[in-house]
């Protein structure tokens, strides 16, 4: 079991895969080429022998006919030739007449006997045959002895065998040679496969080590041996950069939160300490005064905590949205009703202008909190006698809410920051009027959770307009 796991692990590795691939590429062609070579060598050698033997027997056949050898085999000229041929081919020659009787056998084994063999019979019918007998290591050809006159009659058959020992010895020699060369090639392929697989996978190992060892966020990896490892290094560094940014903004957020939460506490402590220090001198009026201030600080702390909680809820994914079909006109009317008293107190006119009835799929609690922050800001950062105009419109795809005021406006260089958490254009003024710097961050998150957009136009001293666009139908998040 352990061995199986070990092998599985080994062959799962890229190094092993490259090693095997290189080894096979090195060996397989050699084996295939070797196999093809021997087949071709053998068949070519046999073909050449067959042709030369056939030619020889053709000449012999003519002489046999002209000397009447088939009737009387005491023709010296032919017998000498047969002997010579037998020596050349290290083989046997048998002359058979048309009644299958052996007229001459150079091995003197079957003279006068009847010779029945399929190929001899085929040759008596006019065919030339050749057979390679691997068992007795010889090539056997049969050729008809055919008259060259108009009758073309077949008088007999010449059977000629040739020992293939020479050819087989050469093949054996080359086979051994190939075997040795293959062994050398296998060793070379093996060594090369080890070297190359190591070379090709080393950068990946290095990359993996570098990534594992990069414990600090600022560590970068750079393995530029191959373009692929260069790509991975670059992508990894980019991800690390994103994480650095996230970490930075998280740290900034935590330090902002601590600072914001500490400020009211510090004020409360100062107030309480000074009351304590007064001892008997403090009158009941003074106590009430101080307690009023302390209560205000507590309210402020509560508001910051509530805003933070809203922000955290908005930071979660769209999956936490509680979508339903909402009448936006009613939603805005309710908001204006709630904020009416504050606007009145500030002497700011609050107007809702609706161009058409709008119903949309939204999370009413979250989106109305976002819009409420915009209207509240319009009132807060306004001057007595100013106005806040809220308009609602829609087309077939989106609904549009704009919140326009003629208040103090926002300086151009602050506009890009106003959606940042805890950002306030004028810290002390904002604090005075109860701002936490979280309102617009909450608004932006709420709108973006609905796949909407928010834009701002502002002129210092003239006023500010926030334009919001939200899809009528909720667009589900792609999972």
Tokens of 174: 């080359």
**Quick one: which of 472, 469, 467 has its CA closest to 389?**
467
Cβ closest to ligand ADP, residue 32 vs residue 433: 433
Stretch that binds ligand ADP, among 123-131, 278-286, 364-372, 402-410 (CB under 6 A): 402-410
Of the candidate residues 120, 294, 464, 474, the single one contacting ligand ADP (CB under 6 A): 464
Of the candidate residues 61, 435, 447, 452, the single one contacting ligand ADP (CB under 6 A): 435
Cβ closest to ligand ADP, residue 134 vs residue 345: 345
Does 161 contact ligand ADP by CB under 6 A? no
Tell me phi and psi for residue 345, to 5 degrees: -60, -40
Cα torsion 435, 440, 446, 447: sign: positive
The minimum distance between CB 229 and ligand ADP, in angstroms, equals 45
The minimum distance between CB 389 and ligand ADP, in angstroms, equals 12
The minimum distance between CB 438 and ligand ADP, in angstroms, equals 6
> Long-range CB contacts (< 8 A, 24+ apart) of 171-176?
171/38, 171/41, 171/42, 174/37, 174/38, 174/41, 175/38
If DSSP codes are grouped into helix, strand and coil, which group holds residue 224? coil
Cβ closest to ligand ADP, residue 161 vs residue 430: 430
Does 304 contact ligand ADP by CB under 6 A? no
Does 439 contact ligand ADP by CB under 6 A? yes
Cβ closest to ligand ADP, residue 225 vs residue 426: 426
Does 117 contact ligand ADP by CB under 6 A? no
Of the candidate residues 61, 164, 373, 406, the single one contacting ligand ADP (CB under 6 A): 373
**H-helix or E-strand spanning residue 304:** helix 284-315
Distance in Å from the first CA to the final CA of the chain: 40
- Write the binding mask 221 to 250 for ligand ADP: x where contact by CB under 6 A, - elsewhere: ------------------------------
- Write the binding mask 319 to 358 for ligand ADP: x where contact by CB under 6 A, - elsewhere: ----------------------------------------
Q: Which residues, in sequence order, are CB contacts of 137 under 8 Å at separation 6+?
A: 163, 164, 165, 168
Pairing of strands 463-471, 398-405: antiparallel
Write the DSSP string, 309-323.
HHHHHHHS-GGG---
Cβ closest to ligand ADP, residue 290 vs residue 423: 423
Cβ closest to ligand ADP, residue 64 vs residue 335: 335
Q: Are 130 and 117 in contact (CB under 8 A)?
A: no
Does 123 contact ligand ADP by CB under 6 A? no
Q: Which residues, in sequence order, are CB contacts of 90 under 8 Å at separation 6+?
A: 162, 163, 165
Does 436 contact ligand ADP by CB under 6 A? yes
Does 454 contact ligand ADP by CB under 6 A? no
Stretch that binds ligand ADP, among 98-106, 205-213, 345-353, 377-385 (CB under 6 A): 377-385
Cβ closest to ligand ADP, residue 42 vs residue 467: 467
Cβ closest to ligand ADP, residue 397 vs residue 428: 428
Cβ closest to ligand ADP, residue 44 vs residue 417: 417
If DSSP codes are grouped into helix, strand and coil, which group holds residue 147? coil
Stretch 93-112 residues interacting with ligand ADP (CB under 6 A) = none
- Specify the DSSP class assigned to residue 478: P
273/311 Cα distance (integer angstroms) = 33
Q: Residues binding ligand ADP: what is the number (CB under 6 A)?
A: 23
> Long-range CB contacts (< 8 A, 24+ apart) of 474-479?
474/321, 474/323, 474/361, 474/362, 474/450, 475/451, 476/318, 477/317, 477/318, 477/319
Of the candidate residues 437, 445, 454, 469, the single one contacting ligand ADP (CB under 6 A): 437
Cβ closest to ligand ADP, residue 97 vs residue 404: 404
Write the DSSP string, 91-107.
S-EEEEETTSBEEEETT
Interface ranges with ligand ADP (CB under 6 A): 373, 377-378, 381, 405, 407-410, 418, 423-426, 430, 435-441, 464
């Amino acid at each position: 079991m352990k061995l199986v796991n070990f092998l599985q692990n080994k062959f799962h590795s890229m190094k092993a895969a490259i090693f095997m691939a290189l080894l096979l590429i090195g060996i397989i062609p050699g084996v295939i080429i070797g196999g093809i070579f021997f087949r071709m060598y053998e068949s070519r050698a046999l073909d050449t022998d067959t042709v030369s033997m056939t030619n020889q027997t053709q000449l012999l056949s003519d002489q046999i006919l002209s000397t009447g050898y088939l009737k009387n085999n005491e023709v010296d000229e032919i017998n000498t030739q047969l002997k010579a041929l037998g020596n050349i081919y290290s083989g046997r020659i048998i002359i058979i007449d048309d009644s299958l009787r052996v007229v001459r056998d150079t091995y003197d084994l079957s003279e006068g006997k009847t010779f029945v063999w399929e190929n001899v019979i085929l040759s008596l019918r006019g065919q030339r045959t050749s057979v390679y007998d691997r068992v007795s290591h010889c090539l056997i050809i049969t050729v008809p002895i055919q008259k060259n006159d108009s009758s073309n009659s077949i008088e007999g058959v010449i059977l000629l065998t040739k020992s293939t020992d020479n050819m087989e010895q050469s093949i054996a020699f080359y086979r051994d040679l190939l075997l040795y060369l293959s062994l050398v090639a296998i060793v070379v392929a093996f060594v090369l496969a080890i070297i190359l697989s190591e070379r090709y996978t080393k950068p990946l190992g290095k990359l993996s080590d570098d990534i594992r060892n990069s414990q600090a966020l600022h560590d970068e990896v750079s393995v530029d041996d191959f373009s692929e490892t260069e790509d991975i290094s670059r992508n990894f560094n980019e991800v690390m950069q994103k994480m650095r940014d996230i970490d930075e903004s998280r740290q900034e957020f935590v330090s902002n939160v601590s600072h914001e939460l500490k400020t009211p506490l510090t004020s409360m402590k100062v107030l309480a300490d000074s009351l304590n220090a007064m001892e008997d001198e403090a009158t009941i009026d003074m106590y009430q005064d101080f307690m009023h201030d302390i209560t205000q600080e507590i309210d402020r702390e509560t508001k910051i905590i509530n805003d933070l909680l809203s922000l955290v809820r908005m930071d979660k994914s769209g999956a936490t949205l509680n979508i339903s079909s909402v009448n936006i006109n009613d939603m805005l009317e309710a908001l204006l009703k709630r904020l009416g008293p504050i606007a009145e107190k500030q002497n700011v006119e609050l107007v809702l202008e609706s161009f058409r009835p709008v119903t949309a799929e939204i999370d009413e609690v979250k989106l109305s909190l976002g819009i409420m922050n915009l209207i509240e800001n319009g009132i807060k950062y306004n001057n007595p006698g100013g106005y806040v105009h809220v308009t609602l419109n829609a087309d077939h795809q989106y609904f549009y809410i704009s919140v326009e005021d003629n208040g103090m406006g926002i300086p151009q260089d602050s506009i890009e920051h106003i959606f940042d958490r805890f950002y306030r254009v004028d810290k002390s003024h904002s604090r005075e009027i109860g701002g936490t710097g979280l309102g617009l961050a909450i608004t932006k998150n709420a709108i973006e959770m609905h796949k909407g957009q928010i834009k701002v136009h502002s002129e210092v001293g003239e006023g500010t307009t926030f334009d919001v666009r939200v899809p009528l139908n909720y667009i589900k998040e792609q999972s």
